[in-house]
Chain A
């Protein structure tokens, strides 16, 4: 059973470009969570999705950031018109759908660097 897969592992963008980060949850998991981690800081919640549904996006900036988890394919975190302050590690996590499945399993993250 492969773990949570994220790609790319490293992403370099110039200011104003778009960044697309992909996350495939563990097999059998239907809940996906995106977290952002700045250097020397903790994990900050951004968005929680189920298939074709955003459940909670309270941690995501209102502008330039969007997320989706389509019926088929990986979850995508999209950042438009990136700025230097978007440079961070973005981690995706997944969990099972059944009640009691609280354990979150994290991917290896995408390190976004904005030049």
Chain B
């Protein structure tokens, strides 16, 4: 089955700096890669996603890049703000698994004011 690795597990940045979180996946058949943000005690919320036929997607301060050959994808947050502090999860979906997602272990992002 699919295996998703996520790095780093914790990331501390100064407000206004950029943050980058990286994930690798094992199954070359995976074709959908969402990112979720989870604040303490709350539900995971979808913030951006990318399909395998696209190399990059951007939404305001958030962007995701995908390298299918290397089987890795990354989340980029620019001009970080304290409210960006949360745990971020990457995930991958394999075509033959319905809509089931396999998640990475998460990255705790701390943005210092």
Q: Which 9 A-B pairs have the closest CB atoms?
A: A43-B103, A106-B43, A42-B105, A95-B99, A42-B103, A102-B32, A106-B44, A108-B43, A42-B106
How many residues on the B side are at the interface (Cβ–Cβ under 8 A)? 23
**Complex CA–CA separation, A42 to B36 (angstroms):** 11
| Given A104-B101, A106-B44, 4 more pairs with CB closer than 8 A | A42-B103, A43-B89, A102-B34, A103-B46
- Contact between B100 and A33, CB atoms less than 8 A apart: yes
Tell me, yes or no, whether A105 is within 8 Å of chain B by CB. Answer: yes
Within 8 Å of chain B (Cβ to Cβ): is A12? no
Q: Which of B32, B44, B100, B105 has the most chain A CB atoms closer than 10 A to its own CB? A: B100
- Distance of A44 Cα from B105 Cα, bound (Å): 9
Secondary structure at chain A's binding surface: helix, strand, loop or mixed? strand
Q: 13 A-B residue contacts at CB 8 Å?
A: A33-B100, A33-B101, A42-B103, A42-B104, A42-B105, A43-B103, A48-B98, A55-B98, A56-B100, A106-B44, A106-B45, A107-B43, A108-B42
* Number of chain A residues close to chain B: CB under 8 A: 23
Q: In the complex, what's the smallest C-beta–C-beta distance from A21 to chain B, in angstroms?
A: 14
List B83-113 residues whose CB lies under 8 Å from chain A.
89, 93, 97-106
For the complex, what is the distance from the CA of A33 to the CA of B1, rounded to whole Å?
Answer: 17
Q: Are A91 and B34 in contact (CB under 8 A)?
A: no
